[in-house]
Structure 1
Amino acid sequence: MYEPIRTPSVHRMGDRADYPHRTRGEELDIQLAGHLGALLALTDELGLTEAAEQIAAQIARLRGTPPVRHAGLTAADTPTLHHRAREVAGRALVVAAARADTAAAILAAERMDAHSAALAPAGAH
């Protein structure tokens, strides 16, 4: 016959209160702040001060503290930076829409438009 189990199962879930839990909204805020942080780094590298300040304000609103900013330059050319920034702004827009965060969605859409315009050939509008 089998001997009875004398220790608790290692597969048993502990009390749910033992684990940190975040709401979907909190998770989306974290994700949105991360995308905006990446966009801020690219915007700073491009030297777009006014846009960077707007992005930093949104990050501060989401996180409750102002973002840490540094001058970590990637040595990428300007078109590459604009392309990356447009992609990151698009990701931020998707998350902002999922979160129903109108201010962040508008900012992300504006940044997408600005970077798209910067990538457009001269005279093509």
Structure 2
Amino acid sequence: MYEPIRTRSVHSVADDAPYPHRTREEELDIQLAGHLSALLAVTDELGLDEAAEHIADQVARLRGATPARHKGTSGADPAGLHRRAHALAGRALVVAASRADTAAAILSAERMDAHTAALTEPRLVSAP
């Protein structure tokens, strides 16, 4: 009823491919480092130095190099920055859980809790 496949699948990975291939773990490391780097930028913007150092340590561990940082402030709304940081920490948590990186997952969950707490402070609450 069905004819057997006679050609090689287009989805198979050729060993002689002209470009390097990364493993799933390497791809997740790159993705996690990216989310944590974005979180680091927002954390620096908020002036949370101790938290930023912990995030920078995780980024350095994943990338093998110290992340570039910018301490300048843009004057953005703190509530908006906390919302963005919360979302970034959530993304990092999902990827950290995918790759079973306990340290990054704990750090991400702690940052989510901290930004949630900051958003419930009356002085930061504003209309989304």
**1:110 matched residue in structure 2:** 110
- Shift, 1:56, TM fit: 0.1
1:99 alignment partner AA:
R
User: Against the structure 1 CA distance between its residues 84 and 22, is the aligned structure 2 distance closer, same or farther, given a 3 Å change threshold?
Assistant: same
Identity score, percent? 72
User: Against the structure 1 CA distance between its residues 32 and 81, is the aligned structure 2 distance closer, same or farther, given a 3 Å change threshold?
Assistant: same
TM-score normalised over the length of structure 1: 0.82
SS in structure 2 opposite 1:56?
helix
Quote the Cα distance in structure 2 between the aligned partners of 1:33 and 1:69.
Answer: 14
The number of aligned residues is 110
Quote the Cα distance in structure 2 between the aligned partners of 1:53 and 1:121.
Answer: 24
Quote the Cα distance in structure 2 between the aligned partners of 1:14 and 1:49.
Answer: 47
User: Against the structure 1 CA distance between its residues 61 and 85, is the aligned structure 2 distance closer, same or farther, given a 3 Å change threshold?
Assistant: same
**2:37 matched residue in structure 1:** 37
Quote the Cα distance in structure 2 between the aligned partners of 1:75 and 1:121.
Answer: 19
Structure 1: 4+ residue segments shifted above 4 A: none
User: What's the Cα RMSD here?
Assistant: 1.7
Deviation digits for residues 54-80 of structure 1, max 9, x if unmatched? 000000000000100113533311100
Unpaired runs of 5+ in structure 1?
Answer: 1-12
The answer to whether 1:63 aligns with 2:63 is yes
Quote the Cα distance in structure 2 between the aligned partners of 1:96 and 1:42.
Answer: 19
Quote the Cα distance in structure 1 between the aligned partners of 2:72 and 2:21.
Answer: 33
**1:96 matched residue in structure 2:** 96
TM-score normalised over the length of structure 2: 0.80
**1:9 matched residue in structure 2:** none
* Structure number with larger C-alpha Rg: 1
